[in-house]
Structure formats: structure tokens, C-alpha cells
Structure 1
Amino acid sequence: MRRSTLAGVAAATLLALPAGAQQAPLSQDNQLSNPGSAFVGDGRRAAWHAEIERTERGFRIGNPNAEASLIEFISYTCGHCATFAKEGEGALDLTVLAPGHMNLEIRPVIRNAIDLTVSLLVQCGDVSGMKDRHRMFLTRQDSWMAKAQRAPQSQMQSWARGDRASRANMAAALDFDDMLANTGMSRVEISACLADDEAALALIRNGDADREEFAVPGTPSFALDGELLQQVHSWDALYPVLSEHFRPGNAQD
């Protein structure tokens, strides 16, 4: 496995968006209530979607003993990832995560210094809040990415170093610290997370391990039960795969 350092982040293009297949929006007639699919809610007031735990390379939402496991590989600077979070993650909560049929592991892909900083902040604080922080950064991506793209070139070059000082400067310039403080996190805790070089190196090493194991081609990408799904980079593409997986006769008891 190739060893990575924070210096390796500087080689990445700071604001380049990772490659991902362009997909049409989910059509109105392609709904989860399709009667031919088992990919529907079961009507129970189950709450597995609120269960969150740290994993070796990310964090897992849902029943750890579910019949199916999905890995979502995401970059926080990826526009398609933000679209997937808005279109697909809530639907997954309702239909397969809450009832306990499937769990979802979210693994960050570190393509640039902004990915590194946001990923540190998503995993900062109480584990129970990780999903909310993850979705907050993705649903507000348009706003903070616009600020990043307006930053002076000299500031971008500074951020690309990926060290603790540049991470702190980026968080202040893009209002990441305010976003988290408004959720109730202390400024001291936010600063400590941004300064954690060991956690930053772990994120980079985990990304290297995922590239070696899965050969992730772009973001978002997905692995179902340990197998990378080819040409699946959107909710519109993922939906039929999961619908077929949970179709009566295919789904496990």
C-alpha cells in the first residue's frame, strides 16, 4: 500500500470536483412505493437509522447485523455527492435503514485539502451527531464552495498545504467553525479537531486503503455487500440495484 502524508494533499487540485457519471434526476414515476419491489418501508416505527457507530474507515448508520451492507464513497467537494445526499440518503433512511434491512457506511474520499478539513470536522464531536454533520456540509455545499472559489489565489495555495494552520484558516474563511458552533459544539473542540494531525493522516491512509481494495473510480461510488457497483454514481442509478436486491424472492429472510 502506498503511504500518504499531508504533503501529498498539496499535489491535488484544490477545488477540482471528482469525476462521476452524469445521471438524470429521479423521475416522478420511479418511486419507492413500486409494488413490485420489496424496497419499501414496512410500516413499523423502527429507528435503526438513528444508530451510528465509528468504523475503521468511516462511520456506519443502521443495524450492524442487517442482511445487506452498502458503502458510500464520497468527497465533500463533489457536486454529485451533494445531489445524492439530497435525493437518496433520506429515502434510504425511511425504506431500508430504519427497519433494519440494510446498513450504510459512509467513507470519505480525500481528493484535496478542503475534503480533508471537512472530513475532520464531520468526525469531530459526538458520534451520534456524525450523520447530521455529514449532511449539513453536503446540503450547504453550494454556499461554502462559492466562498472557496472566491478566495484569493494566495489563500488557496496556503490551504493546499493541508497542515493544521491552513485547516484552521480555511475553517474560519469558509465559516465551517460557525456552522459547527451553531450546532452546539464548543470552539475549543472545533479547534482541537482541526489541529489533529494524526486524525488527518488516518483519513488519508483510509482513502488509500479503499482505493487499493475497491479501485473507486469517482464519487459518489458504492459497494454492496463488499462488491463495487460498476457505473453507479447517483441515486437514480443506485435505486434499481437496491430495488432488485430487495425484490420478493431475492431478499433474505
Structure 2
Amino acid sequence: MKRLATAPLALALLALAACGSQDGNSSAPIGKVEGKAAPAGTTWAQQVVATPEGGIRMGNPDAPIKIIEFASNTCPHCAHFSEESKDVLERDYVNTGKVSFEFRNFVMNPLDISMAMLARCTGPEAFFPLTHQFFANQQAIIEKLQSAGEDAYKNAMSAAPDQRFQRMAEAAGLIEFAMERGVPEAKARQCLADPKTAETLAANVERDTAQYSITGTPSFIMNGSKLDNVSTWPQLVEQLKNAGA
């Protein structure tokens, strides 16, 4: 498989080339779809599972509207989407049983991979809260890594595969960040020491890019079809409403 390049830090964190907003489009409404109640004592947003394709999905597995988001943890536009959407998406769409929402990490650089590995570390239930926290603190995390300097980045990337992402996470303060949010240090380091997870994340990006022609993040798939020119929460809401949500 294609390996990550050991690029200079400034280039490795420059996700903007594949992270941008686009003008929205719209489609004709098709009428309302039907949802269904979640299992007793739960909400659909609490029903979170890993998918065979490597994503994490919340919601009714039989929802008539199935959304996939491809996003990078180091993409500013993805962070903005997370901030705008996270509460209303769960409350007004996922919990109706009409919409399921799957997140797939579209990793672009080693810092991105480190955050994705930690978000997945303690199981699907913790994935969305940790991912939202990474987005909310994105700029501070990037600045922390930058302040560690070029040598810290190079040392991480030149380390053995089972040490590389631990060192990257140390330089960016990610291990302490995850510990403050309930991930034990030993567990965090164990997850970061698994190079197969990193390779799988990178391979998934290659597969999904080929399948869906993903050119930027965030990008969205609805019921198997890419939503062209949709990269913001208001644009996705328009598509959801037109689909009957």
C-alpha cells in the first residue's frame, strides 16, 4: 500500500488543499419518509456501531436516509461543520429514525491519523464525543505540534512504526488530551502503537477516493450517491429536507 510521506511539518499539516467549501446545490423534494422509534429506553443517537467499511455509524440501521461524511480531523471546514451540526443532527434527524449518520476518517497527515486512532481507541460509543472534542480544539492541537518544532515532527516520523504515532501524539499533547476525556494512558499508547490501524485508515482513504471521487473534505454521500457541491451544514440540511427527513 502507499505509505505516508515524511513531509516537512508545515506541508504535512496543510490540509487546505483538500479541505474547502463549495457552492451548494439543491434537488427537488420527494416527500416525507417514515422513521421509527429507537429501542426502549434509548435514542437512535445512542445506537453507535463500527461499519464493515471502517466508519462509525449512529442511528437506525434501517433508516431510509443514510448519510456518510468523509472528514479530516485537521480540516478547518470539517471543524466548522462539526460545531454547527452536532446537536441538531442528532436531535432533529438521527433520533427520528429517518436518518443514519456514518463518519469515515479521511486522513491526510500523521497528526490526523493519530487523532483518528485515539478516537477509535475505546470503542464506537466514545468515537463521536472524542471526535467532536478534537474538532473543537483543532487549532490548539495544531499549534501545540507546531510549537514542538520541526525536530519533534521528524523524530516521530523516523521512529519505528509502533512508536511513530505515540511520538506524534506526545508532541501534539494528544495523550494528555485523551486522558482528560476518559481514555487511560496505557490504552491510548496501546492504540497508537498499532501500525495496522494506521495502514487501514490510509488504505480506506484510497478506496473511498476511488469509489466516490472524493476531492475535498467534508464530503457527503446520501444513499450511495455523492452530494456534489455540498460541504456545509446548511447545504446538507437542504438535501435532508428534500429527501424527506
Q: What TM-score do the two structures reach when normalised by structure 1?
A: 0.82
Q: Deviations over 1:73-96 (max 9, x none)?
A: 000000000000000122110111
> What is the CA-CA distance between 1:181 and the residue it aligns to?
1.1
1:22 aligns with 2:18: no
Shift of 1:178: 1.2
CA contact (8 A) 1:71 1:222 kept: yes
Report the more deviating stretch, 160-169 or 182-191: 160-169
Report the residue type matching 1:48 in the other structure. Answer: W
1:11: Cα distance to partner? 5.0
Mapped to 2, the partners of 1:217 and 1:233 lie a distance apart of 11
Q: CA separation in 2, counterparts of 1:10 and 1:71?
A: 30
- Alpha-carbon deviation of 1:127? 2.0
Structure 1 letter corresponding to 2:222: L
1:49 aligns with 2:45: yes
Q: Is the 8 A contact 1:15 1:149 kept in 2?
A: no
Mapped pair 1:129 → 2:129: no
Contact 2:82-2:135 within 8 A present in 1 as well: yes
The aligned residue for residue 26 of structure 2 is none
Q: 1 CA distance for matches of 2:144 and 2:7?
A: 21
Q: CA deviation at 1:110?
A: 1.5
Q: Mapping of 1:139-154 within 5 angstroms?
A: 139-154=136-151
Counterpart-to-counterpart distance in 2, 1:170 and 1:65? 39
Moved over 6 A (4+): 41-46
Judge which range, 93-102 or 167-176, deviates more.
167-176
Which structure 1 residue ranges, 5 or more long, are not aligned?
A: 25-36
- SS, match of residue 204 in structure 2: helix
* Residue 106 of structure 2 is aligned to residue 109 of structure 1: yes
Which residue in 2 is equivalent to 1:99?
A: 96
Mean alpha-carbon deviation: is it higher for 179-188 or for 83-92? 179-188
TM-score by length of 2: 0.85
Residue 213 of structure 1: how far off its partner (Å): 0.4
Instruction: Give the alignment partner of residue 203 of structure 1, picking from 201, 204, 215.
Output: 201
Q: CA deviation at 1:172?
A: 1.7
Q: Secondary structure at the match of 2:228?
A: coil
Distance 2:42 2:179 in 1: 31
Instruction: Quote the Cα distance in structure 2 between the aligned partners of 1:195 and 1:148.
Output: 19
The one-character-per-residue Cα deviations of 1:185-216 (angstroms, maximum 9, x if unpaired) are: 21111110000011111111111110110010
The Cα offsets for residues 202-238 of structure 1, whole Å up to 9 and x where unpaired, read as 1111111101100101001101001111111111221
Unaligned regions of 5+ residues in structure 2, if any?
A: 24-30
Maintained 8 Å contact 1:75/1:81: yes
The residue correspondences of 1:144-183 to structure 2 (distance < 5 A) are 144-160=141-157, 163-183=161-181
Distance in 1 (alpha carbons) for counterparts of 2:237 and 2:74? 23
Give the conservation status (yes or no) of the 8 Å contact 2:152–2:171: no
Measured in 2, the distance between the counterparts of 1:169 and 1:46 equals 39
Find the aligned partners of 1:85 and 1:159 in 2 and give their Cα distance: 29
Q: 1:198 to 1:20 in 2, by over 3 A?
A: closer
1:193 corresponds, among 172, 191, 194, to: 191
Residue 166 of structure 1 and its aligned partner are, at CA, apart by 2.8
Q: 2:222 aligns with which of 221, 224, 228?
A: 224
Identity across the alignment (%): 27
Larger helix percent: 2
How far off is 1:9 after superposition? 4.1
Report Cα offsets for 1:119-169 as digits up to 9, x if no partner. 111111132111111111111112111212323122223344583323112
